Amino acid sequence: MIEFKNVSKKYKNGTHALENVNLKVEDGEFVYIMGPTGSGKSTLIKLLDGEEVPTGGSVIVNNVNVGRLRKSKVYLYRRKIGVVFQDYRLLPEKTVFENVAYALEVLDMPGDKIKKRTREVLKLVDLADKSNVKPRELSGGQQQRVAIARAIAKRPAILIADEPTGNLDPSMTDEMITLLEKINREEKTTLLVVTHNDVMVEYHPKRTIRIDSGHIVNDGTHGERFYKQNFGEVKKPQEENKEEKVEVVSETPVQEEEAHTEHIPTEREVQDQKIEEINQTLESIEEIKGGDGI
């Protein structure tokens, strides 16, 4: 379960991004987070994945007080959380299969298990036939699906997607949300989806948390009326409870631990670093080629 208890976040420049936010999300729920630009949505996500620490209150995820995790434990905690960023940067020199497998290699999973799980998630996102293709040969929507496959490969208890339909046309948007629903249903993953897409929320109504100026201003199922008028009965939200899957972080609260204050690199930053290294290698190869007149 995710719980925000009186959470406030004031950035160093004095911006109050969130103020006294109280929120509970049960295991297996599918929740939209909506709100105008600058309202605090990404801040909420950053508090959840331990990238930022609250300046007031506490963020508790499956009994772990995230803001008070020791720096050395943040990466273990992050194994429970999959995040798909809007600029889903994939490793350009790796194939689709390798991009997904890489997320498991860093967990030191045995090779045969990595292959099995990678095949499984690529099938889930309907990209099994693109396994050996490089990201640049894929459409935007397909690349986004690779990013989702990569995020769910480690079986996170929670998947957070920041604007997953931002760059997609209406039919792709519908496919994307259907895929996220499938992940929620089949992998029993709790879904938090940040979106500005009203149409998506109307056609696939779910609990919607609306944030404005750092406050939750509404929390309920949006779009029911529209859905009922057009499609009959509203789909029931996921009620199935999920079992704990990743046992890497202790179940006992860790309130006593010292909060980390340094910035801990996110998965994306680690991947960006990797891309940077690849680019530097390519540049030096170019230089050598140029220098030798090859």
Which residues here bind ligand ATP, judged by CB under 6 A? Answer: 11, 13, 15, 17, 35, 37-43
Q: What is the DSSP string of 15-37?
A: -EEEEEEEEEE-TT-EEEEE--T
CB-nearer residue toward ligand ATP: 162 or 187: 162
As given in the structure block, the two tokens for residue 255 are: 């309130």
E strands present in the chain: 2-10, 16-25, 30-34, 56-61, 64-65, 81-84, 158-162, 190-194, 207-212, 215-221
Which of 41/145 has CB closer to Mg ion?
41
Output the smallest distance, CB 12 to ligand ATP, in A. 7
Residue 207 corresponds to which tokens in the numbers above?
Answer: 């609990």
- Nearest approach in angstroms of CB 40 to ligand ATP is 4
Residue 36 or 253: the one with the smaller Cβ distance to Mg ion is: 36
171 binds, options Mg ion, ligand ATP, none, Cβ within 5 to 8 A by partner type: none
Which among 28-36, 42-50, 101-109, 145-153 is the span making contact with Mg ion, rule CB under 5 A?
Answer: 42-50
| Owner of token pair 């100026």 | 213
Q: With binding defined as CB under 5 A, does residue 197 bind Mg ion?
A: no
Tell me how far apart the alpha carbons of residues 140 and 168 are, in angstroms, rounded to a whole number.
7
**Which residue's Cβ has the minimum distance to Mg ion?**
42
CB of 267 to Mg ion, least distance (A): 17
The strands making up 215-221's β-sheet, listed across from edge to edge, are 81-84, 158-162, 190-194, 30-34, 207-212, 215-221
Segment interacting with Mg ion (CB under 5 A) among 36-44, 46-54, 135-143, 208-216: 36-44
Out of 21, 30, 40, 42, which residue is the one contacting Mg ion (CB under 5 A)? 42
CB of 14 to ligand ATP, least distance (A): 8
Q: By C-beta, is 129 or 198 nearer to ligand ATP?
A: 198
CB atoms within 10 A of CB 42: 19
39 contact, one of ligand ATP, Mg ion, none, CB 5-8 Å limit per kind: ligand ATP
42 or 189: CB nearest ligand ATP = 42
- 178 contact choice in Mg ion, ligand ATP, none (CB below 5 to 8 Å, kind-dependent): none
Residues 6+ apart with CB under 8 A from 90: 99, 135, 143, 146, 147, 150
Q: Which region, left, alpha or beta, applies to residue 151 given φ > 0 means left and ψ of -120 to 50 means alpha?
A: alpha
Q: Closer to ligand ATP by CB, 11 or 231: give it.
A: 11
Angle formed by the axes of helices 111-124 and 170-186, nearest 10°: 130
Binding positions for Mg ion, rule: CB under 5 A: 41-42
